[in-house]
Structures are given as structure tokens and as C-alpha cells.
Amino acid sequence: MRVVIAEDQALLREGLARLFRDGGHEVAATRADAEDLLATVATTMPDLVVLDIRMPPTFTDEGARAAANIKRHHPKVGVLLLSQHIETTHAMSLAAQEGFGYLLKDRVLEVGDFLSTAERVANGGSALEPRVVAHLVAPVHGGRLARLSERERGVLELMAQGLTNAGIAGRLVVSERTVEAHVRHILTKLDIPESEDGHRRVLAVLAHLRAVHEIP
Amino acid sequence: MRERNPGSVLALTGYEWSHDCPAAAAVGTIPQVRGLRLAVFPASLCAATLVVEAVAIGLAWGLEPRFDTIVYAVYTLTLAGSGALIASRRPRNPIGWLYCGTALATALTADLAQGWGLRAAANGWPAGPFAEWVAAVSWIPAGTAVVYTILLFPDGRLPRSRWRAVGWANAAGAALLLPGWALTPDIGYIFLSGRNPYALPEIPTGALVAVGLTLFLGSLVLSIVPLVQRLRRATGVERQQLKWVVFAAALMAGLLPPVALLWSVTPLVQPVAAVALTALPVATCVAILRYRLYDIDLVISRTLGYLALTALLAAAYSASVLLLGTVVGRRSAWATAGATLVVAVAFRPLRDRIQAGVDRRFNRARYTAVRRVETFLERLRAGHAAPEEIQTVLREALAVDDLDVRISLPDSGLAVDLYGRPVTGDRDDRRERWPIRRAGTTLGDVLVDDPPERVRALLPTLADAGALAVEMARLRVELRRQLAEVGASRARIVAVADAERRRIERDLHDGAQQRLVSIGLALRHAQHALDGTSPEARQTLDGAIAEITVAIDELRELAQGLRPAHLDGGLGPALRELARRAPLPVRVDATADRFPAEVETAAYFTACEGLTNAVKHARASAVELSAGRQGDTLVVRVADDGTGGTQARDGSGLTGLSDRVATQGGRLIVDSVPGRGTVLTAEFPCVS
């Protein structure tokens, strides 16, 4: 996997590069800001771009805007957005695309999980920060999510994080058929049309959650 | 009256403000020095009169009562001075020349002749009786001069109406009276010898005097009639001028008859006649030359007031002495002391009442206007009126629309209106202004465009009366400005504190948190490098990284509390995030509109405080959180279904929140009835 890293803090940038190299991946380029990131992506054509949301010069959402730009010009390139705090607005608007992920920065310390999530995004899958998902699937007073059982909510969380049925089965230590049954129940209870495509399913779930939470 | 030079306007306004201060009168006349310079011919007439009068005084000195000599000399010289002034400034007006001539004639025929007659008798000089004879008839032409002065006043033209006949009647009267008086033996008592040396008993002098005197005195009385008629028709300047002469004439009419009656009873009244006579040239002079400098209405009302007061106090004193005398015995010092006390106690209230009564009767305009201002002040003291209304009150009292009151601010001297709004434009510079003073401090000005004469006359008094209201308005303006300053500085303090929170939050996120992640990554790298060689070290590193993760979480929570990063995305995301973190169901209804950062922060903390209260104190089961625009107001509302009864206490979160909301010009309303939940509403003004 060829990776481009954009992070303004040198120490963290080097740490991330080393993390990917230790994991057996190639770091094609590192950048301290988002300015010529698009050009770098065009020349190196990586599998994945890992970038910080806040970067110079204004430290607000340079990373998020650069991520949207990359996805527009290079839809095949996976983009993994990192942030220091939970960022619903940008994350949710970008999450409705293939090959996009959003995680809190400290997730990188769980090296195994982080690298597998990165690979999933590079291969066109999704990844959404578990904390964000946990907020999203929390039952709203009187909402449909309240109809779900405890177990079903757990499955929904993992679905929303971007995991496949097999991945969910692995996490919950149950058979894949059990997971399928749960998924069917969840989709029925939430009135979401069934779909064979795992990614479309994630998108449908996210769209539902966004609607519930009135996130634009 | 429009051609005044600016210097005289200043002197005028400066003077009118302190009309009962003689020093200010002197100041007021300084710029008019040019006007006091006499033309050559009137000056020489005046000088001639002075020389003749000096000789007359020298001759008569010691041979008659001295005050007689002095008082009549003063009269003659006043007449000469007034005449010279008027003739210099208004050479076309015959009154000035009439005065000059009358003064010289009086000096020669009355004073000098009288002096010569006395001195000749004493020292045996010749022509003594002739001089006495001249002096004895000299009053007749002088009286004619008085009648013509009154008829000619103020513009030097005789009245057009049939009242012109008064002048002919007087002339005819004088023509009959002069030979009759001069040749009658009846005036022998005037002469030192006891007889008229030129008496011609064969001429019917008695009839001449009778007819002449009737015509003469009748015309003197009737000459007042056209004057009063003119006064009734006159407006503006002419009215003010006429009032002066009517005043003097009335003074003569009021004083001369009793003086004549008491002439032989007591010599004390004799100088009073001179004072009464002197009043006419002085009044004429003031009326023609300086009618604006002296407030004739005030002079009249004060004169009447003090005359009535004197009479009443004298009566009260006599009555008290009489009454107390019967009680404690005649000639007791106690009676005098008691009467004095009665008079002293009665003086002040009596003076005020009499003055009000005189004003009501003789100066309706002043009385009504002053009364209007006083009524307003009473309402102001009772709290029924606002001090800023003084401008409207003055406009109504004076019946002018283009009147404005300006306050000068104590620190900057800046001119503002009664509500503290700065006055722009230079229009004010062209308006006539009267300073408003109180206790020696100039509070501001009253400005009027082209004030009519009656406004000029009334404004000083009214502005004096209204100074209290102006001072109150000024204090209120100062208070408002200081409050605004305090509010602004409070807003600055909060803004600085918010900026500081933001900086710390950023430092935590981008500094400490990132550094911890880097350290964690370094540890992971080390772990990778160890690669299973030491399971113990690997476990230790896992533990350390777990600690680091906890530390990062804690820092994130801390930064979140300082200033929610979600506010970067507006109130909607921030409030929804807040709801997600709440341990109870929260329904959020938030606008997507954006507001100024400080307002959004204050709105967010309002929601935080409402939620905290619902969770910690109210034992609520659900909360509704809304933020939306209502017109020009952002309304944030937190409603819970808890126990209610919440109150803002000192030091509680609600008090601090109230301050924060007030800083943004908003207000916080706590509606918390026990058993019916709590509704916290914050309203922020925001013009989009």
C-alpha cells in the first residue's frame, strides 16, 4: 500500500510514516500542510492519503477541504481524515463516499486496528470513528433507534463504522449467519431497503442516522 | 435692531444673565464704550451746563438746605448727560436736543439764578431780586419740555392723532401762565423779600394763572394718554422703549402729588421730587439707547413688588408695635424687638407672594411662563416628569418651536442634546445662545433661532428656573455614558476571556494531545523494534500506551469544556453534540443560521447551564433545547420536565450566565415554578 501523509506536526508526521513502514507499507510522500497536496497526489498516485483536519494556515478545516478535493479529482484514492476532537459536520458529509474514513488521532496507537482500517479505506471501504457512531446510534427520545435491542444496536454501530458482515462476526465472536439475521432485523426496524452491496448498506445506514440527527 | 455688532450681542447676552448684579452691568457696557463717546456739539452743551451748574452750586452752597442744592444739580446734570448721549447717538431725534437745551436752560434760569439771588441777598450784590424772579418762573418752560418729551417719545415725532392738540394746549397754557405767574403778587412767598418785585396788580394775573395752570397741568396729565395708546399698539422694541417712559411717568405721577402735599410739612420729601424728575431723563436715555440691556419688565415688577412690600411691612410693623405695646407696655424694647421679628419672619414669604401677585397682574407673559416651568419642576420632584422634558416645557412656555437645550459634557465639553446624543452640524453656531448655570457651573446652553424680543426678555429667568432639570438630565446622560462604558469594558473582558479559552483549547488539542500521540507512536515503534524479544517489555509498553490514551481522552474532555470545538460549525452542531453527551434524552431544534462568535458562545453556555441544571438539580427525565431567530433576536430556550423552583443565587451558575448574556446585550429569563419544570430563555439582539 502506497501512502501519502499530510500532518503539520513533524514529530507526529514522522511517527505516522514509521508506523506505516513498520507495517510493511510504502510512504510515497509526507507534507506539512494541505496546500500542494493535490499535486502530490497527482504525481505519486497513492492508494491512501492520511491527513489532519486542522492544518496551517488557519487551523480550522483545511484538511477536510483538501480531502473533499482529492475525492473529487481522484475518486479511487482512499482518504483517511484524522482529528483531535469529534467532528461530526465534515466527517458525515464526506463519509457518504467510497474509500473514505474518519478517525480520532489517538486511534493510531491501536496499531493493528488502525492499519486494517487504513487498508479497508484504501480498498474503497468506509471507516467511521467508533465514538461518532456511538453518538449516532444512541437512541433519541421517541425515535426509531429505540426499537432496536442492545445486541442489534451493537451490530448497527459496527455497520456504521464500515465493517463487513465477516468483520462484525469476528468482533462480536458470533457466526456470520447470526450477523446476517441481525442486519435484516435492523434494516426492517429502521425501514432501510436491503442491499447485497456492503458499502451501499453502510451508506444507507449513515443516511438514516444523519436524518435522525438532522446532520446536513 | 439687526445691525448690532457681534461684540454687543455678546455683551447683551452676557449681561442679561445676571440682571441683578451691578458688577455684571458694568461688564456688559464695556464693549459699548464707543457709544459713550459724545459728539462735539452735544458735548460742549453738556460741558457748558456743567460749568454753569458748578457756579450755581458754589453760589448757593450753604444758603439753602445742602441736599436741595445737590439733588437739583444731580437732576440738571442727569438731564444734560442723557441729552448729550441721545443727541450723539441719535442726532435726528429731537429729544436729545430738547434735553440738552432744557438742561442748560434749567442750569441758567433755575439753579444759577437761584444761587445768584441767594448770594446777592447775603453779600449785597446787585440784581438779586431779578435773579430770584427768573428762578421763580423757570419751572414753566421746564414743564413744557417734559410734556413735549413725552409726546415726542420714542421716535421724535408728535402723535398723528388728535392728541397732537395736547402739545398746543400746553404751549397755550404756558403762554398764559408765564406772564400770569411772573407778574402776580401771589408768589411773593417765594422771594426773600416776601414780595414779587415785578408784580403788576393792574393785570388780571389771577385769571391768567387759573386758565394757564389748568391748561398746563391738564396737558401734562393728558400727554400720558397718547403714550399709553402707543404702548397698547406697540410690539417688540418700541413696546419695550415705551414701557420705560411709562414707568418713569407713572413714577412721577405717583410721587409728585404726595410730595406736593407734604412739601411744607417735612423737608425730607423735597429730594424725592428730584428723584422722581430724574427718573424721566434716565428712563428716556435707557429706552432710546439701551432698551435691550435692562429688563424693564423686571424693573417694573420689582418696583411695584417692593413698594407693596414696604407698605405692608410698615403696616405690619406698626400694628405689631401697637399690639405688643398694649401687652408689654409702651416704649418697651420688647415691643420693638417683637415687631422687628414679625417683619423679619414675614419678609421672605411675603415678598414671594407679592412678587407672584404683581407678576400675575402686570406681567402676564412672565407669570405664565415662569409658572409653567415651576409646575414642571414640581412634577419633576414628584417623579411624574422626566428632566429631559425641559426642552418641550421651554418651547411651550415661550411659544417658540426652534428652541433647543444643549448639555456640555463635564469631561470633554462636548455639546450633546438632553438624551446624550452628539449634536452634529454647525447650525448651532448661528443661533443665539443663553448659558444655563447652576452653582457657578455652566451646564449647557439654550439655543434659539432669531429670538423675538419677548423671548429675549423671558429666557434668562426661565433658563435659571429650569437649570435644575438640565442638571438632572446632564447627570442622567453622564450616568448612561458611564454605564455604556462599563458594559463595553465588560464585553471586552468576556471577549478576551473567550479568546483565551480558545487559545488554551487549541494549545491542548494541537500541543499536548498531539505530543502524547507522538510519544505513543514512538513507543509503538519501540515495541515493533523489540519484536517479541521481551514479552515483559512489550506488556509494559502496552500499559504505557493505554495510559497515554486515557490522558488524551481526559485532555479532550477538558478542552471541550473550555470551549466547544463544535462551535466552529455553528450553534446546530454544537448543541447536537451537547445533547449527545447528555445522560438523558434531549430534543434539539437549532437553526442553521450563524451569529457573531461571542453570541454563539453565550448561547451555547446558556444551553450547557440549562442542561446541567436539568441533570444535577431538577431530576428531569427529558429536555427540549431550541435555538432560533425571532425577528432581530436569537432566542435560546432550555425546557426540562423536572422539579422546578430554580433561582439565580449569588455565585450560582445562573448568575454568571446572566452576566455573560447581558454582556452581549441580551437578557436571561428563568421561569421555574415548583412542580412544573424549568424554562431557561436567553434572548440576544442580533441585527443580521
Which of B561, B562, B548, B546 has its CA nearest to residue B513?
B548
Confidence of residue B1 (pLDDT cuts 50, 70, 90): very low
Can you list the pairs that B146-149 forms with residues at least 24 positions away whose Cβ atoms lie under 8 Å? B146/B220, B146/B280, B147/B219, B147/B220, B147/B223, B148/B98, B149/B95, B149/B98, B149/B99, B149/B280, B149/B284
Confidence of residue B20 (pLDDT cuts 50, 70, 90): very low
In this structure, are B211 and B227 located in the same domain?
yes
pLDDT tens per residue across span B441-465:
889 999 998 888 778 888 888 888 8
Domain count for chain B, please give it. 5
Are B347 and B313 in contact by the 8 Å Cβ rule? The answer is yes
Best-predicted range by mean pLDDT (B273-287, B588-602, B625-639): B625-639
**Residue B545 and residue A109: Cβ atoms within 8 Å?**
yes
In a domain, B194, yes or no: yes
Q: What cell numbers appear for B405 in the block?
A: 437645550
How much of chain B, in percent, has pLDDT values that exceed 90? Answer: 11
Whether B29 shows a pLDDT value over 50: the answer reads no
What are the backbone dihedrals phi and psi of residue B475, each rounded to the nearest 5 degrees, phi first? -60, -40
**Residue A105 and residue B525: Cβ atoms within 8 Å?**
no
Are A106 and B517 in contact by the 8 Å Cβ rule? The answer is yes
In this structure, are B343 and B426 located in the same domain?
no
In a domain, B43, yes or no: no
In this structure, are B345 and B400 located in the same domain?
no
Which residues, other chains included, contact B372 with Cβ-Cβ below 8 Å and sequence gap of 6+? B393, B396, B397
Whether B658 shows a pLDDT value over 90: the answer reads no
Whether B42 shows a pLDDT value over 80: the answer reads yes
From CA B664, how far away is CA B658, in angstroms rounded?
10
DSSP label of B422: B
pLDDT tens per residue across span A54-110:
888 887 788 888 999 999 999 999 999 998 877 766 777 777 678 889 999 989 999
DSSP label of B477: H
Confidence of residue B412 (pLDDT cuts 50, 70, 90): confident
User: Which of A79-93, B40-54, B71-85, B401-415 has the lowest average pLDDT?
Assistant: A79-93
In a domain, B290, yes or no: no
In this structure, are B678 and B597 located in the same domain?
yes
Confidence of residue B408 (pLDDT cuts 50, 70, 90): confident
The pLDDT score that the predictor gives to residue B474 is: 92
Rounded to the nearest 10°, the torsion over CA A4, A9, A11, A14 is: 10
In this structure, are B580 and B679 located in the same domain?
yes
Q: Which of residues 482-521 of B touch A (CB under 8 A)?
A: 506, 509-510, 513-518, 520-521
Are B520 and B485 in contact by the 8 Å Cβ rule? The answer is no
The pLDDT score that the predictor gives to residue B3 is: 37
Whether B287 shows a pLDDT value over 90: the answer reads no
In a domain, B615, yes or no: yes
Average pLDDT taken over every residue of chain B = 81
In this structure, are B412 and B502 located in the same domain?
no
Length of chain A: 216
In this structure, are B549 and B577 located in the same domain?
no
Domains assigned to chain A: 2-128 (3.40.50.2300), 133-213 (1.10.10.10)
Whether B33 shows a pLDDT value over 70: the answer reads no
From CA B471, how far away is CA B438, in angstroms rounded?
8
Last residue of a domain, one of B362, B377, B399: B362
Q: Which of residues 106-125 of A touch B (CB under 8 A)?
A: 106, 108-109, 111
In a domain, B78, yes or no: no
In this structure, are B457 and B540 located in the same domain?
no
In this structure, are B582 and B628 located in the same domain?
yes
**Residue A213 and residue B576: Cβ atoms within 8 Å?**
yes
The pLDDT score that the predictor gives to residue B499 is: 84
Which residue of A lies nearest to B563 if distances are taken between CA atoms? A85
CATH label of the domain that carries residue B582: 3.30.565.10
In this structure, are B369 and B358 located in the same domain?
no
Last residue of a domain, one of B427, B456, B482: B482
**Residue A22 and residue B585: Cβ atoms within 8 Å?**
no
How much of chain B, in percent, has pLDDT values that exceed 70? Answer: 89
**H or E element, residue A79:** strand A78-83
The pLDDT score that the predictor gives to residue B635 is: 94
Which amino acid, one-letter code, is at A70?
Answer: I
Q: How far apart are the first and last CA of chain B?
A: 56
Q: How far apart are the first and last CA of chain A?
A: 33
pLDDT tens per residue across span B265-286:
776 676 677 777 788 888 888 7
The pLDDT score that the predictor gives to residue A29 is: 94
Distances (CA, A) of B558 to B504, B510, B552, B595, B611: 10, 13, 10, 25, 18
Whether B404 shows a pLDDT value over 60: the answer reads yes
Are B403 and B446 in contact by the 8 Å Cβ rule? The answer is yes
**Residue A15 and residue B560: Cβ atoms within 8 Å?**
no
Kindly give the interhelix angle for B597-616 and B453-507, rounded to the nearest 10 degrees: 70
pLDDT tens per residue across span B542-555:
999 999 998 888 88
From CA B6, how far away is CA B244, in angstroms rounded?
25
In a domain, B289, yes or no: no
Selecting from B506, B517, B568 the residue whose C-beta is nearest the C-beta of A106 gives B517
**Residue A16 and residue B573: Cβ atoms within 8 Å?**
no
Confidence of residue A140 (pLDDT cuts 50, 70, 90): low
In a domain, B288, yes or no: no
Which residues, other chains included, contact B59 with Cβ-Cβ below 8 Å and sequence gap of 6+? B112, B115, B116, B118, B119
Whether B594 shows a pLDDT value over 50: the answer reads yes
Q: What cell numbers appear for B31 in the block?
A: 464693549
Burial tier of B364 (Cβ tally within 10 Å: 0-12, 13-18, 19+) = exposed
pLDDT tens per residue across span B347-387:
778 878 887 777 776 667 777 888 888 889 889 888 888 99
Which residue of A lies nearest to B556 if distances are taken between CA atoms? A85
The pLDDT score that the predictor gives to residue B11 is: 30
A58 touches chain B (CB under 8 A): no
Length of chain B: 688
Whether B532 shows a pLDDT value over 60: the answer reads yes
DSSP label of B421: P
Last residue of a domain, one of B233, B266, B293: B233
Best to test chain A binding among B506, B508, B521 (most A CBs inside 10 Å): B521
In this structure, are B577 and B656 located in the same domain?
yes
**Residue A89 and residue B556: Cβ atoms within 8 Å?**
no
CA triple B181-B185-B190, angle to 5 deg:
75
Count of CB atoms within 10 A of residue A175's CB?
Answer: 10
3-state helix, strand, coil in chain A (%, to 5): 55, 15, 30
Domain membership of residue B393 as a residue range: 365-482
In a domain, B41, yes or no: no
**Residue B580 and residue A138: Cβ atoms within 8 Å?**
yes
pLDDT tens per residue across span B555-564:
887 887 777 7
In this structure, are B499 and B431 located in the same domain?
no
Confidence of residue B520 (pLDDT cuts 50, 70, 90): very high
Question: What is the gyration radius of the CA atoms in chain A, in angstroms?
Answer: 17
Whether A200 shows a pLDDT value over 80: the answer reads no
Residue B512's Cβ-side half-sphere holds a number of Cα atoms within 13 Å equal to: 16
Q: What cell numbers appear for B337 in the block?
A: 424687638
